[in-house]
A = this chain, B = another copy of it.
Amino acid sequence: MPKLINTRTRIADLGKPRVIVIGGGFGGLEVVKGLRKFKVQVVLFDKHNHHTFQPLLYQVATSGLETNSIVAPFRKMFGSYQDFYFRLGEVKRINAEENSIETSIGSVKYDYLVIATGAVTNFYGLHEVEKLASSMKNIVDATKLRNKIIRQLEYALLTEDPEVMNSLMDFVIVGGGPTGVELSGALTELKKNVFPNDYKELDMRAMDIHLIEASPRLLNGMSHQAGEKALQFLTEMGVKVHLNTAVKSYDGYEILLSTGETLISKSLIWAAGVKGNPVEGIDPQVIARGNRLQVDEFNRVKGYNNIFAIGDVALMAGDLKSPSGHPMMAPPAQQQGRLLAKNLKNLIVNKPLKPFRYFDKGSMATIGRNKAVVDMKGIRFQGFFAWYVWMFVHLMSIVGFRNKVFTFFSWMWNYFTFDRSNRLIIGRNEEKISQEELNKQPM
């Protein structure tokens, strides 16, 4: 039986400059799009065969959207592009001296390299939390969390011990940023509209949703007004918000808080922060605050000529005059990606490069049905209209017309029926529900 020849990636040499983009997130996509019809070969590496619309992962986790509505296959997006190559594989290392990358499927030379590897969850050194908590950075995480939420309620039916029952029915979300706020809102709607009918045997008043935030307010990246309103909305909906509170430890059951208080839950959901996800081989001196790569105003990685970084993994200090760089969200990544594509063209035709300036279009978060908060240049509003704007903006941002249509229908369905039809446990471990499983921590 012959073996695969896999020592090389078989990416054709077109005799054109080769731009390798690592990561097809919001930033990477814009680089690929911007270089279309230009005299370069573009190679996109990603360990998934699809782009993921991360801002809506929380809706997959809470049964509001099906998985496929928020992902789009790269080959579908770029099927009509000339000189574009996609490779499914993980980039292991950059060998800058040789202008090459080592990947899980072989090594490839580049002329220009764009690191667009985004961010990973930051557990701030809490190793037990990392091992035992749920997080939500990709579609597999989101689906696992969905499975877990539903499974906990199925398990809650099997006990009469009130403490054990609470440990299964209570959910603790750490991090009062958009993800934490949106997730606690969506869980509350499940609790209110779906679970009482699904689990008539359970007293749903026993289900508590806690939101833990270390700082004195919610939605730190937004206006004070937005944070206050989000707090009000969540509190009215019954979420127990703990401000000025951090998680000290977690054993899969007991959560020790910085206030000395203890919460009991088998479901700790970590949305407390992210950190850059740089690739090995870059000079460690360049890795700064938040594990991000220091870049100049052209997104060029400090100390390198032909290596660029954009989005969450890049730290450009000068632009915002803030040492923490741009917010780790889609818009800076997209804007940097778009400009970098232009600058790569300029570089190749020997034109001067344009420095990056972030255009802050504002930000928004949704809390629940008819409830959202929006900050836009000078305007701030909350409530039904904000919720409508949130939906519109997200719908327009989802990649692919079909995904837009399906998401729109799902939202209309959910709105008018109060239902969440995707409350499914799907996955390989679903068949493992056994006596031992039930007693094991965490589930």
Task: Tell me the A residues contacting B by CB distance below 8 Å.
Answer: 1-6, 8-10, 12, 47-50, 66-69, 71-73, 75-76, 79-80, 85, 87-90, 104-106, 139-140, 143, 150-151, 154-155, 157-161, 163-164, 197-199, 201, 251-254, 400, 402-403, 405-406, 409, 413, 419, 421-428, 430-431, 433-435, 437-439, 441
Contact A75 B160 (CB under 8 A): no
Contact A73 B421 (CB under 8 A): yes
Contact A1 B433 (CB under 8 A): no
**With A402-B413, A409-B405, A431-B47: A157-B66 Cβ-Cβ less than 8 Å:** no
Known: A6-B158, A49-B425, A104-B435. 11 other contacts (CB 8 A): A49-B150, A50-B426, A66-B69, A68-B422, A73-B198, A75-B197, A79-B197, A87-B154, A90-B433, A143-B426, A428-B428
**With A49-B425, A79-B197, A88-B425: A435-B158 Cβ-Cβ less than 8 Å:** no
Taking each of A71, A158, A254, A431, which has the highest tally of chain B beta carbons within 10 Å of its own beta carbon?
A158
Chain B residue at minimum C-beta to C-beta distance from A47:
B431
Contact A88 B154 (CB under 8 A): yes
Contact B49 A140 (CB under 8 A): no
**With A161-B5, A402-B413: A434-B66 Cβ-Cβ less than 8 Å:** no
Taking each of A2, A160, A439, which has the highest tally of chain B beta carbons within 10 Å of its own beta carbon?
A2
Q: Shortest Cβ distance from A425 into chain B, in angstroms?
A: 5
Q: Please name all residues of chain B whose beta carbon is closer than 8 Å to the beta carbon of A50 when the two chains form the complex.
A: 424-426
Q: Shortest Cβ distance from A136 into chain B, in angstroms?
A: 15
Bound complex: CA of A159 vs CA of B105, how far in Å? 11
Contact A158 B424 (CB under 8 A): no
Bound complex: CA of A72 vs CA of B71, how far in Å? 22
**With A90-B431, A438-B6: A421-B76 Cβ-Cβ less than 8 Å:** yes
Q: Please name all residues of chain B whose beta carbon is closer than 8 Å to the beta carbon of A90 when the two chains form the complex.
A: 431, 433-434
Q: Please name all residues of chain B whose beta carbon is closer than 8 Å to the beta carbon of A160 when the two chains form the complex.
A: 5, 10
Contact B159 A424 (CB under 8 A): no
Taking each of A68, A150, A154, A164, which has the highest tally of chain B beta carbons within 10 Å of its own beta carbon?
A68
Chain B residue at minimum C-beta to C-beta distance from A405:
B409
19 contacts between A and B (CB under 8 A): A4-B439, A5-B160, A9-B158, A10-B201, A49-B430, A50-B426, A67-B426, A68-B424, A71-B426, A73-B198, A75-B198, A79-B197, A85-B201, A89-B433, A105-B433, A105-B435, A402-B419, A406-B406, A428-B428
Task: Kindly identify which residue among B5, B427, B434 contacts A104, using a CB–CB cutoff of 8 Å.
Answer: B434
Bound complex: CA of A9 vs CA of B158, how far in Å? 5
Contact A423 B4 (CB under 8 A): no
Bound complex: CA of A158 vs CA of B427, how far in Å? 29
Q: Please name all residues of chain B whose beta carbon is closer than 8 Å to the beta carbon of A6 when the two chains form the complex.
A: 158-159, 435, 438-439
Chain B residue at minimum C-beta to C-beta distance from A8:
B158
Q: Please name all residues of chain B whose beta carbon is closer than 8 Å to the beta carbon of A439 when the two chains form the complex.
A: 3-4, 6
Q: Please name all residues of chain B whose beta carbon is closer than 8 Å to the beta carbon of A75 when the two chains form the complex.
A: 197-199, 423
Chain B residue at minimum C-beta to C-beta distance from A50:
B424
Contact B5 A198 (CB under 8 A): no
Q: Please name all residues of chain B whose beta carbon is closer than 8 Å to the beta carbon of A409 when the two chains form the complex.
A: 405-406, 409
Bound complex: CA of A73 vs CA of B421, how far in Å? 8
Contact B421 A68 (CB under 8 A): yes
Q: Please name all residues of chain B whose beta carbon is closer than 8 Å to the beta carbon of A201 when the two chains form the complex.
A: 10, 12, 85
Q: Shortest Cβ distance from A85 into chain B, in angstroms?
A: 8
Bound complex: CA of A80 vs CA of B200, how far in Å? 10
**With A164-B2, A424-B68, A425-B49: A88-B406 Cβ-Cβ less than 8 Å:** no
Contact A423 B105 (CB under 8 A): no
Q: Shortest Cβ distance from A255 into chain B, in angstroms?
A: 12
Contact B155 A426 (CB under 8 A): no
Chain B residue at minimum C-beta to C-beta distance from A82:
B200
Bound complex: CA of A2 vs CA of B56, how far in Å? 36
Chain B residue at minimum C-beta to C-beta distance from A197:
B79
Task: Kindly identify which residue among B139, B163, B435 contacts A426, using a CB–CB cutoff of 8 Å.
Answer: B139
Q: Please name all residues of chain B whose beta carbon is closer than 8 Å to the beta carbon of A438 when the two chains form the complex.
A: 4, 6, 105
Task: Kindly identify which residue among B2, B66, B413, B428 contacts A140, using a CB–CB cutoff of 8 Å.
Answer: B428
Bound complex: CA of A427 vs CA of B147, how far in Å? 14
Q: Please name all residues of chain B whose beta carbon is closer than 8 Å to the beta carbon of A164 when the two chains form the complex.
A: 2-5
